[in-house]
Amino acid sequence: MRSHILGKIELDRTRLAKDLGYLASVPTVEEEYDEFSNGFWKNIPLWNATGEGEDRLYRDVPGSAIATEHAARVPYLREIVQTVFVGDRLKMARTRNLKNAVVIPHRDFVELDQDVDRYFRTFMVLEDSPQAFHSNEDTVIHMRPGEIWFLDAATVHAAINFSEHSRQSLCIDFAFDGGFDEKEIFADPTVYDPGATPEIVTRKPFTQEHRDRILSLSKVIERQNFRDLLFLLSKVHFTYDVHPGDAYDWLVEIAKKADDEKMVVKAEQIREFAMEARALHDRFSL
Ligand code: YCP
Ligand code: CO
Protein backbone atom coordinates (compact mmCIF):
# COMPACT_ATOMS: atom_id res chain seq x y z
CA MET A 1 0.00 0.00 0.00
CA ARG A 2 1.83 3.11 -1.21
CA SER A 3 1.34 6.65 0.05
CA HIS A 4 -2.14 7.98 -0.63
CA ILE A 5 -4.62 10.61 0.52
CA LEU A 6 -6.85 9.56 3.43
CA GLY A 7 -8.91 12.71 3.68
CA LYS A 8 -8.73 16.47 3.99
CA ILE A 9 -9.51 19.12 6.55
CA GLU A 10 -10.06 22.83 6.07
CA LEU A 11 -7.32 24.59 8.01
CA ASP A 12 -8.18 27.66 10.05
CA ARG A 13 -5.41 30.01 8.96
CA THR A 14 -5.84 32.44 11.84
CA ARG A 15 -5.61 29.82 14.55
CA LEU A 16 -2.84 28.01 12.72
CA ALA A 17 -0.75 31.19 12.43
CA LYS A 18 -0.52 31.45 16.23
CA ASP A 19 0.69 27.87 16.57
CA LEU A 20 3.21 28.35 13.77
CA GLY A 21 4.51 31.38 15.62
CA TYR A 22 5.18 29.28 18.71
CA LEU A 23 6.87 26.51 16.69
CA ALA A 24 9.16 29.07 15.06
CA SER A 25 10.13 30.40 18.48
CA VAL A 26 11.28 27.00 19.78
CA PRO A 27 15.09 27.06 19.68
CA THR A 28 16.67 24.83 17.05
CA VAL A 29 18.86 22.09 18.46
CA GLU A 30 20.90 19.29 17.04
CA GLU A 31 18.35 16.98 15.51
CA GLU A 32 17.96 13.29 16.33
CA TYR A 33 18.23 12.29 12.68
CA ASP A 34 20.62 14.99 11.49
CA GLU A 35 22.58 12.71 9.19
CA PHE A 36 19.52 12.30 6.97
CA SER A 37 19.39 15.94 5.96
CA ASN A 38 21.60 18.80 4.84
CA GLY A 39 19.68 21.91 5.75
CA PHE A 40 16.97 23.23 8.01
CA TRP A 41 14.98 20.26 9.32
CA LYS A 42 13.24 21.04 12.58
CA ASN A 43 11.25 18.41 14.41
CA ILE A 44 9.17 19.27 17.49
CA PRO A 45 7.48 16.45 19.40
CA LEU A 46 3.93 17.22 20.57
CA TRP A 47 3.25 13.67 21.74
CA ASN A 48 5.95 11.04 22.21
CA ALA A 49 7.09 8.08 24.29
CA THR A 50 8.17 10.05 27.37
CA GLY A 51 6.27 13.34 27.30
CA GLU A 52 9.62 15.13 27.21
CA GLY A 53 9.88 18.08 24.86
CA GLU A 54 13.40 17.18 23.77
CA ASP A 55 12.72 13.52 23.00
CA ARG A 56 12.73 13.22 19.22
CA LEU A 57 13.37 9.50 18.94
CA TYR A 58 10.76 7.49 17.11
CA ARG A 59 10.33 4.14 18.82
CA ASP A 60 7.82 1.58 20.01
CA VAL A 61 5.60 2.93 22.76
CA PRO A 62 3.61 0.69 25.08
CA GLY A 63 0.14 2.19 25.26
CA SER A 64 -0.46 5.70 23.98
CA ALA A 65 1.94 8.57 23.46
CA ILE A 66 2.17 11.31 26.10
CA ALA A 67 1.72 15.02 25.40
CA THR A 68 4.85 17.17 25.75
CA GLU A 69 5.04 20.78 26.95
CA HIS A 70 4.92 21.87 23.30
CA ALA A 71 1.42 20.42 22.83
CA ALA A 72 0.08 22.89 25.39
CA ARG A 73 1.50 25.77 23.33
CA VAL A 74 -0.18 24.84 20.04
CA PRO A 75 -3.89 24.68 20.90
CA TYR A 76 -5.08 24.44 17.32
CA LEU A 77 -2.81 21.53 16.39
CA ARG A 78 -3.61 19.89 19.70
CA GLU A 79 -7.29 20.11 18.86
CA ILE A 80 -6.69 18.59 15.43
CA VAL A 81 -4.75 15.68 16.91
CA GLN A 82 -7.39 15.07 19.56
CA THR A 83 -10.56 15.48 17.53
CA VAL A 84 -9.60 14.12 14.11
CA PHE A 85 -7.58 11.09 15.25
CA VAL A 86 -8.04 8.36 17.85
CA GLY A 87 -5.81 8.62 20.90
CA ASP A 88 -5.31 5.03 21.95
CA ARG A 89 -3.14 4.01 18.98
CA LEU A 90 -1.24 7.28 18.87
CA LYS A 91 2.53 6.74 19.19
CA MET A 92 3.95 10.09 18.21
CA ALA A 93 2.79 13.44 16.90
CA ARG A 94 5.36 15.98 15.80
CA THR A 95 5.73 19.00 13.62
CA ARG A 96 8.40 18.77 10.97
CA ASN A 97 9.64 21.70 9.00
CA LEU A 98 12.01 21.42 6.07
CA LYS A 99 13.56 24.42 4.34
CA ASN A 100 16.25 24.56 1.69
CA ALA A 101 17.00 20.95 2.47
CA VAL A 102 16.64 17.38 1.33
CA VAL A 103 15.97 14.26 3.39
CA ILE A 104 17.94 11.45 1.75
CA PRO A 105 16.09 8.38 0.42
CA HIS A 106 15.51 5.93 3.25
CA ARG A 107 13.16 3.41 4.80
CA ASP A 108 11.76 3.97 8.27
CA PHE A 109 10.96 1.44 11.00
CA VAL A 110 13.94 -0.79 10.08
CA GLU A 111 15.17 -0.27 13.66
CA LEU A 112 11.83 -1.48 15.09
CA ASP A 113 9.58 -4.54 14.91
CA GLN A 114 10.09 -6.70 11.83
CA ASP A 115 6.37 -6.57 11.17
CA VAL A 116 6.39 -3.08 9.67
CA ASP A 117 2.75 -3.39 8.63
CA ARG A 118 1.92 -2.51 12.24
CA TYR A 119 3.08 1.05 11.71
CA PHE A 120 0.88 3.68 10.16
CA ARG A 121 2.33 7.13 9.55
CA THR A 122 0.23 10.09 8.49
CA PHE A 123 1.51 13.38 7.20
CA MET A 124 -0.24 16.70 6.75
CA VAL A 125 1.38 19.79 5.29
CA LEU A 126 0.24 22.93 7.10
CA GLU A 127 1.60 25.62 4.77
CA ASP A 128 1.51 26.12 1.06
CA SER A 129 5.03 25.57 -0.13
CA PRO A 130 5.04 25.02 -3.90
CA GLN A 131 8.66 23.87 -4.03
CA ALA A 132 8.33 21.17 -1.38
CA PHE A 133 7.91 17.53 -2.42
CA HIS A 134 7.79 14.01 -1.10
CA SER A 135 8.77 10.92 -2.98
CA ASN A 136 7.75 7.33 -2.45
CA GLU A 137 9.27 4.65 -4.68
CA ASP A 138 8.32 5.68 -8.25
CA THR A 139 6.16 8.68 -7.40
CA VAL A 140 6.87 12.30 -6.54
CA ILE A 141 4.08 14.12 -4.76
CA HIS A 142 3.28 17.69 -3.89
CA MET A 143 1.13 17.62 -0.76
CA ARG A 144 -1.40 20.42 -0.44
CA PRO A 145 -2.23 22.01 2.92
CA GLY A 146 -4.89 20.13 4.85
CA GLU A 147 -4.55 16.87 2.95
CA ILE A 148 -4.07 13.96 5.34
CA TRP A 149 -1.72 11.45 3.75
CA PHE A 150 -0.78 7.93 4.60
CA LEU A 151 2.99 8.09 4.15
CA ASP A 152 4.34 4.66 3.30
CA ALA A 153 7.52 5.17 5.27
CA ALA A 154 8.38 1.46 5.26
CA THR A 155 9.18 1.70 1.54
CA VAL A 156 11.78 3.98 -0.02
CA HIS A 157 10.92 7.65 0.35
CA ALA A 158 12.56 11.06 0.55
CA ALA A 159 11.56 14.70 0.94
CA ILE A 160 12.78 18.05 -0.27
CA ASN A 161 12.08 21.73 -0.08
CA PHE A 162 13.90 23.52 -2.90
CA SER A 163 12.94 26.87 -1.39
CA GLU A 164 13.20 28.71 1.88
CA HIS A 165 9.42 28.97 2.18
CA SER A 166 8.44 27.26 5.37
CA ARG A 167 6.84 23.83 4.86
CA GLN A 168 5.60 23.18 8.35
CA SER A 169 3.82 19.85 8.68
CA LEU A 170 2.21 17.58 11.20
CA CYS A 171 3.38 13.97 11.22
CA ILE A 172 1.30 11.56 13.28
CA ASP A 173 2.28 7.96 13.93
CA PHE A 174 0.07 5.07 14.94
CA ALA A 175 0.86 1.44 15.63
CA PHE A 176 -1.47 -1.54 15.84
CA ASP A 177 -0.99 -5.00 17.30
CA GLY A 178 -2.68 -6.96 14.57
CA GLY A 179 -4.60 -6.27 11.41
CA PHE A 180 -6.46 -3.00 11.14
CA ASP A 181 -8.36 -0.88 8.70
CA GLU A 182 -6.90 2.54 7.91
CA LYS A 183 -10.14 4.31 8.80
CA GLU A 184 -9.64 3.17 12.42
CA ILE A 185 -7.19 6.04 12.95
CA PHE A 186 -9.99 8.59 12.65
CA ALA A 187 -12.05 9.62 15.68
CA ASP A 188 -14.08 11.79 13.32
CA PRO A 189 -15.32 9.37 10.64
CA THR A 190 -16.39 12.20 8.35
CA VAL A 191 -12.75 13.11 7.71
CA TYR A 192 -12.00 9.73 6.19
CA ASP A 193 -12.59 10.27 2.50
CA PRO A 194 -9.95 8.46 0.44
CA GLY A 195 -9.70 8.57 -3.30
CA ALA A 196 -9.03 12.27 -3.87
CA THR A 197 -6.71 12.97 -6.78
CA PRO A 198 -3.23 13.80 -5.53
CA GLU A 199 -0.91 16.31 -7.13
CA ILE A 200 1.65 14.04 -8.75
CA VAL A 201 4.75 15.68 -10.20
CA THR A 202 5.54 15.02 -13.83
CA ARG A 203 9.25 14.37 -14.11
CA LYS A 204 11.63 14.57 -17.04
CA PRO A 205 12.82 11.32 -18.61
CA PHE A 206 16.08 10.02 -17.23
CA THR A 207 18.43 9.21 -20.09
CA GLN A 208 21.62 7.21 -20.44
CA GLU A 209 23.38 10.46 -21.21
CA HIS A 210 22.26 11.94 -17.91
CA ARG A 211 23.42 8.82 -16.10
CA ASP A 212 26.83 9.12 -17.72
CA ARG A 213 27.08 12.73 -16.65
CA ILE A 214 26.24 11.74 -13.08
CA LEU A 215 28.83 8.98 -13.08
CA SER A 216 31.44 11.43 -14.33
CA LEU A 217 31.30 12.90 -10.82
CA SER A 218 34.01 10.31 -10.23
CA LYS A 219 36.28 13.08 -11.52
CA VAL A 220 35.05 15.36 -8.74
CA ILE A 221 34.45 13.15 -5.72
CA GLU A 222 36.77 13.30 -2.73
CA ARG A 223 36.38 12.80 1.02
CA GLN A 224 35.73 16.49 1.52
CA ASN A 225 32.72 16.55 -0.82
CA PHE A 226 31.38 13.02 -0.34
CA ARG A 227 28.52 14.32 1.77
CA ASP A 228 27.63 17.05 -0.73
CA LEU A 229 27.52 14.49 -3.51
CA LEU A 230 25.16 12.27 -1.53
CA PHE A 231 22.76 15.20 -1.11
CA LEU A 232 23.18 16.20 -4.76
CA LEU A 233 22.42 12.65 -5.92
CA SER A 234 19.44 12.44 -3.54
CA LYS A 235 17.85 15.39 -5.35
CA VAL A 236 17.96 13.96 -8.87
CA HIS A 237 14.83 11.77 -8.65
CA PHE A 238 12.64 14.75 -7.73
CA THR A 239 13.20 16.16 -11.21
CA TYR A 240 14.02 13.09 -13.32
CA ASP A 241 12.06 9.87 -13.57
CA VAL A 242 14.33 7.52 -11.69
CA HIS A 243 14.02 5.56 -8.44
CA PRO A 244 15.11 7.42 -5.24
CA GLY A 245 17.30 4.51 -4.18
CA ASP A 246 19.43 4.86 -7.34
CA ALA A 247 21.24 7.71 -5.58
CA TYR A 248 23.17 5.15 -3.51
CA ASP A 249 24.00 2.93 -6.48
CA TRP A 250 25.44 5.94 -8.28
CA LEU A 251 27.43 6.94 -5.21
CA VAL A 252 28.97 3.46 -4.97
CA GLU A 253 29.72 3.45 -8.69
CA ILE A 254 31.22 6.94 -8.60
CA ALA A 255 33.47 5.94 -5.70
CA LYS A 256 34.53 2.80 -7.57
CA LYS A 257 35.32 4.77 -10.71
CA ALA A 258 37.35 7.15 -8.58
CA ASP A 259 39.21 4.08 -7.36
CA ASP A 260 38.89 5.01 -3.70
CA GLU A 261 38.16 1.87 -1.69
CA LYS A 262 37.41 3.75 1.53
CA MET A 263 34.77 5.82 -0.19
CA VAL A 264 33.28 2.72 -1.79
CA VAL A 265 32.89 1.19 1.67
CA LYS A 266 31.43 4.40 3.05
CA ALA A 267 28.93 4.62 0.20
CA GLU A 268 27.87 1.00 0.75
CA GLN A 269 27.52 1.63 4.48
CA ILE A 270 25.28 4.66 4.08
CA ARG A 271 23.09 2.73 1.62
CA GLU A 272 22.77 -0.09 4.15
CA PHE A 273 22.11 2.34 7.02
CA ALA A 274 19.47 4.40 5.25
CA MET A 275 17.68 1.65 3.40
CA GLU A 276 18.23 -1.71 5.09
CA ALA A 277 19.33 -2.01 8.71
CA ARG A 278 20.18 0.12 11.71
CA ALA A 279 19.78 -0.19 15.46
CA LEU A 280 17.58 2.22 17.42
CA HIS A 281 20.38 4.47 18.63
CA ASP A 282 22.70 3.98 15.65
CA ARG A 283 23.81 7.21 14.04
CA PHE A 284 25.87 7.64 10.93
CA SER A 285 28.58 10.18 10.42
CA LEU A 286 28.92 11.28 6.82
C1 YCP B 1 11.78 8.88 11.83
N2 YCP B 1 13.64 7.67 10.95
O3 YCP B 1 11.09 7.89 11.64
C4 YCP B 1 13.18 8.95 11.32
C5 YCP B 1 13.29 9.94 10.23
C6 YCP B 1 14.99 8.54 9.21
C7 YCP B 1 14.91 7.61 10.35
C8 YCP B 1 14.60 9.89 9.54
O9 YCP B 1 11.36 9.83 12.40
CO1 CO C 1 11.07 8.75 6.70
Parse the chain into domains and list their residue ranges. 4-200, 208-275
What tens-digit pLDDT sequence spans the chain (286 residues)? 799 999 999 999 999 999 999 999 999 998 999 999 999 999 999 999 999 999 999 999 999 999 999 999 999 999 999 999 999 999 999 999 999 999 999 999 999 988 899 999 999 999 999 999 999 999 999 999 999 999 999 999 999 999 999 999 999 999 999 899 999 999 999 999 998 999 999 999 999 999 999 999 999 999 999 999 999 999 999 999 999 999 999 999 999 999 999 999 999 999 999 999 898 888 888 8
- Distance between CA 147 and CA 73 in Å, rounded? 23
With the most atoms of ligand 1 within 8 angstroms of its CB, the residue from 31, 34, 36, 120 to mutate is 36
With the most atoms of ligand 1 within 8 angstroms of its CB, the residue from 31, 44, 106 to mutate is 106
Ligand nearest to the CA of 152: 2
Ligand nearest to the CA of 41: 1
The DSSP output letter for 71 is G
Q: What three-state secondary structure class fits 84?
A: helix
What residue owns the CA closest to ligand 1's atom 5? Answer: 33
Assess whether the region 4-200 and the region 208-275 belong to the same CATH fold.
no
Best CA proximity match to 91, nearest among 71, 119, 117, 55: 119
Locate the ligand 1 atom nearest the alpha carbon of residue 92 and give its number.
9
279 burial via Cβ count (<10 Å: 0-12, 13-18, 19+) = exposed
User: Are 245 and 156 spatial neighbours (Cβ–Cβ below 8 Å)?
Assistant: yes
Q: Give the chain's end-to-end CA distance (angstroms, integer).
A: 32
152 burial via Cβ count (<10 Å: 0-12, 13-18, 19+) = buried
| Domain 4-200 in CATH 3.60.150.10 | no
The DSSP string of 215-284 is HGGGGT--GGGHHHHHHHHHHHHHHBSS-TTHHHHHHHHHHHHTT-HHHHHHHHHHHHHHHT---TT---
- Distance between CA 55 and CA 281 in Å, rounded? 13
What residue owns the CA closest to ligand 1's atom 1? Answer: 58
| CA atoms within 13 Å, Cβ hemisphere of 188 | 15
Ligand 1 binding site (Cβ under 6 Å of any ligand atom):
33, 36, 58, 106, 108
ipTM > 0.85? Answer: yes
With the most atoms of ligand 1 within 8 angstroms of its CB, the residue from 108, 109, 110 to mutate is 108
| Domain 208-275 in CATH 1.10.8.420 | no
Locate the ligand 1 atom nearest the alpha carbon of residue 121 and give its number.
3
- Distance between CA 201 and CA 240 in Å, rounded? 10
Instruction: Tell me the CA–centroid distance for residue 41 and ligand 2, in Å.
Output: 12
- Distance between CA 149 and CA 152 in Å, rounded? 9
What residue owns the CA closest to ligand 1's atom 8? Answer: 33
Count of CB atoms situated within 10 Å of the CB of 222:
10
What residue owns the CA closest to ligand 1's atom 7? Answer: 108
The model's pLDDT over 117-160, given as tens digits with 9 standing for 90+, comes to 999 999 999 999 999 999 999 999 999 999 999 999 999 999 99
